[in-house]
Every structure is written in structure tokens, then in C-alpha cells.
Structure 1
Amino acid sequence: MLHELFTPSVQHALDLVGIFVFAISGALLAVRKNFDVFGIAVLAEVTALGGGLFRDLIIGAVPPAAFSDLGYFITPLLAAVLVFFLHPEVERTQNAVNVFDAAGLGLFCVTGTTKAYDYGLGLTSSAALGLATAVGGGVLRDILANEVPSLLRWDRDLYAVPAIVGATIVALCIRFDTLNAATSGTAIITAFLLRLAAMRYHWRAPRAWNRRSATAEEG
């Protein structure tokens, strides 16, 4: 089904763009954490490929695309080199990076859901793996950097919710046999716009009702 949505060359190009932008975010965090060049490369690779690697291992798509396609492995290294030498300039374009990151989020939640369904998973499981594809690399990045994953922090703009919405739209389209290039594009754009709106208006998920925790809040 995935190959019916986009031509192989278009799909590959979109994947590489998403991987590159995710790798930039990982490499920038490594620089902020004062990691060496190896640490920068590792965080770039993990951020870019972690979600897709997790999905492929779960569904049995082995060897995973991260290892069977050299372009998938090289692209994060190119991002790491760029950040290593030009991180002040990259930091100044953070808003643009965030926009492309939102686009990658929308793309990967859709392709992840579709690929999981192609390998025989049910709709709910497929949507869950679509979410994991989109956000898994970021979770691994934060864990390796010894931070609470952004996905779990109340003081960060919504990230998982747009991916959940995109994956759910795909699952519903599959259920009603309406998944095609147009509807999958709609799912990508919806997740993308939700993420942009969350960043613009600082939308955040609610915390526990009537919360009275004495734990100090982080800034």
C-alpha cells in the first residue's frame, strides 16, 4: 500500500529530508550538552533513525531500512558534520528547523502507520507504530542526553498529539478504504499544521486534574 501512495523516488526523497531535519535537532542538542564529535554523530543518528528502526524491528521488516539503505545512514552524518562546523548559524535558523521538523513529524506518522499495516498489524497497532516512528527518535535522543523526554514534559508544546491525529486519520482512511495520495497528504498536512499551531500558540496537554504535587516545577 505504501508504494501506491508515492513513487519510490519521491518516497525516498521525503524520507531523507525528514531524516536530515531530525538529525539536525539531535546534533544541536549534543552541541548544547557539550558532547564531542562522536556524541554529536550518535545523537544525530539516533534521533533520525530511532523511530523507524523501532518500527521495523517490531513488524519484522529486517534488515531495517536504516541498515539496508546507505543513504539513510549517511544523511544523519552529513547533518552532524554541518552542525559540528556551523552550529551557531544553524541555531539562528532554529525556527526554520522547527518547521521542517514538524513536516517530518507529519510525514513519518503517516508512512509509519501505513508500513505497519502493510506488514499485517491491525489499525490500532499500526497507528501506535506510526506515532512511534514519528517521535521515537526524539525520545531516545533525550534519554541519551540525560533529559526527561520532551514528549513527557508538560512545559513543552504539543508534539505527540499532532502525530496521533495524523496516524489516526490514516487508520480511519484504511478502515473505510479511502487511503490514497490525497488523503495521506491530508493527514500529513493536518499533523504538520497542528504542530505549527502548537508551537505558535504554546498549546500544551493538561496535567492531572486537581493536581496538588509539591514537586518543584521546571522552567
Structure 2
Amino acid sequence: MNPDIVEKLGTYIWALDYGSVLVFALTGALVASRAQLDMIGFVFMAALTAVGGGTLRDLVLGRDPVFWVAQPELILIAAAAAFVVYWTAPMLESRYRWLLWLDAVALAVAVPAGVGVAIAGGFGPVIVVMAGVITGTMGGLMRDVVGNEVPMVLKGSELYLTCAFGGAVTALLLAWLGLPTAIALTGGGFAVFLLRAGTLIWGWSLPAYKPRPPRTRG
């Protein structure tokens, strides 16, 4: 890949990482408010959610240093988001509804960030898609497990993994068709959000597995 393109793509990925950290941190702090944690608990949940997926992505891809170690201000952004939610959460009519929509935005930003990192690293299609899915879903999974919530990623009715996978594949296909990488990543992000919004508004879902009773021999 042309070094100039890599440099421009790096700037765009940097912006995506910052955006996903901010919005995911807000969702982590909302879960902390639902669990009635103290201020330190808010900061911990916000930071865990904000950098969890990107950290696992970087470890899997062998990036050194991990993105938030290279940019420690990301932790400060997460902490600031936690403080904002700590003081404003009681004013929200439905914290869970806010959580769902903020999480949809965060997923739509984090998935293309992961895809972009893998593309810039020269990885193949399978790794590119997996990097997008890991970046988008693992932070939320950690948040829900630690916050004693049913993980969204495990709810078939939420299409969470499907949205992340669909967005990552969309970004990869758009890049394969020759679109500029930044536009391909943006298209993948829109695909994630549209799928997630359809789930939240119209209840889109895939058929759930229903096991049949075992056959008995006559």
C-alpha cells in the first residue's frame, strides 16, 4: 500500500478510535449507573468498555504498543465521559434506551476502526473481518459481564454480532471494489448502524435455533 495512503488512513483510524472510545465510555458509565457504582466504578467501567475491544484487537494483530498505551489521553477521555454520565444519568428518562442507541453508534464506529487497522497492517480478508468484529463487540461484552447485565452480544434478538459482521464485510467488499479505503470504512460503519437501528426500531432478527426432540425408535 502506498505510504501516503497508509498515513492518511492512519489519521482516519485515529479519529475512529477516538470516537469509539468516547461513545463506548458513555455506555460503560451508563451500565455503572444502572449498577449504582461509585465514581471510581464509573471510571473503571467507562475505561474497560472504551478500550477493551481495541486492546484485544491489537494483541491479536501483534501491534506494539497497544493503541491506548501509545495514546494515553484516550483513558482521560473515557474518564471525562464517566464524570459526565455520573452527573447527568439521573436526568435521563430511560437509561437503558440511551445505552442501546449509544452502543449502536459506538459499534458503527469501532467496527470500521478494527477493519482499518487490519487493512493498514496488510492482513488478509478473514483477519480483516475478525479484527472489525473483535473491536466492535469485545468492549461491550466485557462491560455487560462486569456490570452483571445479560451481554448484548449473546442476545439473538439484538443481532449484535450479525451487525458487526455485516459492517465489516461491507467495508471489505467496498475496498475490494476499488473505493478509497476511508470511504469503504465509512460505508461499513453506516451498514452497522442501519442494521442495528433496524433491530431497535423494527425488531429485525434472524431465526433462532430450536432443537427438535430426539427421535424414538419404534
* TM-score normalized by the length of structure 1: 0.83
- Does the Cα contact within 8 Å between 2:136 and 2:164 map onto a contact in 1? yes
* Alignment equivalent of 2:128, drawn from 126, 129, 132: 126
Q: Number of paired residues? A: 209
Tell me the equivalent position of 1:68: 70
Could you say which residue in structure 2 is the equivalent of 1:199? 200
Contact 2:23 2:105 in 1 (8 A): no
List aligned pairs for 1:1-219, cutoff 5 A. 3-5=7-9, 8=11, 11-90=13-92, 92=94, 98-154=100-156, 156-210=157-211
Q: Amino acid of the residue matched to residue 139 of structure 2?
A: G
Structure 1 distance, partners of 2:178, 2:117, is: 16
Equivalent position of 2:216 in the other structure: none
Tell me, in whole angstroms, the C-alpha distance in 1 between the residues paired with 2:136 and 2:204: 19
Q: Distance in 2 between matches of 1:52 and 1:128?
A: 12
Match of 1:217 in 2: none
**Alpha carbons 1:124, 1:171 under 8 Å: kept:** no
Q: Is the 8 A contact 2:54 2:114 kept in 1?
A: yes
Where does residue 216 of structure 1 map in the other structure? none
Residue identity (%): 30
Alpha carbons of 1:23 and 1:39: their partners in 2 closer, same or farther (altered >3 Å)?
Answer: same
| Structure-2 separation of matches of 1:192 and 1:142 | 20
Cα distance, 1:93 vs structure 2 = 7.1
Distance 1:28 1:3 in 2: 35
Could you tell me whether the CA contact under 8 Å between 1:67 and 1:73 is conserved in 2?
no
**Structure 1 stretches lacking a partner, 5+ long:** 213-219
Q: Which amino acid aligns with 2:192?
A: A
Q: What are the Cα deviations for residues 44-86 of structure 1, in whole angstroms up to 9, with x where unaligned?
A: 1111110111111111111111121122111110111112222
Q: Matches of 2:45 and 2:167 in 1, distance apart?
A: 26
How big is the alpha-carbon RMSD for the aligned residues of Structure 1 and Structure 2? 2.4
Q: Are the aligned partners of 2:159 and 2:199 in contact in 1 as well (CA < 8 Å)?
A: yes
Q: Is the 8 Å Cα contact of residues 19 and 75 (structure 1) preserved in structure 2?
A: yes
Alpha-carbon offset, residue 189 of structure 1: 1.2
What amino acid is the match of 1:187? G
Structure 1: distance between partners of 2:148 and 2:7: 38
Secondary structure at 2:74 match in 1: helix
2:9, 2:102 → 1: CA distance? Answer: 21
CA–CA distance in structure 2, aligned partners of residues 119 and 146 of structure 1 = 35
Return closer, same or farther for 1:95/1:34 CA change in 2, 3 Å cut-off.
closer
TM-score by length of 2: 0.83
Q: Mark the runs of 5 or more structure 2 residues left unpaired by the alignment.
A: 214-218
Structure 2 Cα separation of the partners of residues 146 and 120 of structure 1: 38
Q: Secondary structure at the match of 2:51?
A: helix
Distance 1:28 1:103, change over 3 A: closer
The answer to whether the 8 A contact 2:171-2:187 is kept is no
Structure 2 counterpart of 1:184, one-letter code: L
Aligned-pair distance for 1:205?
3.4
Tell me how far apart the structure 2 counterparts of residues 182 and 209 of structure 1 sit (CA, whole Å): 40
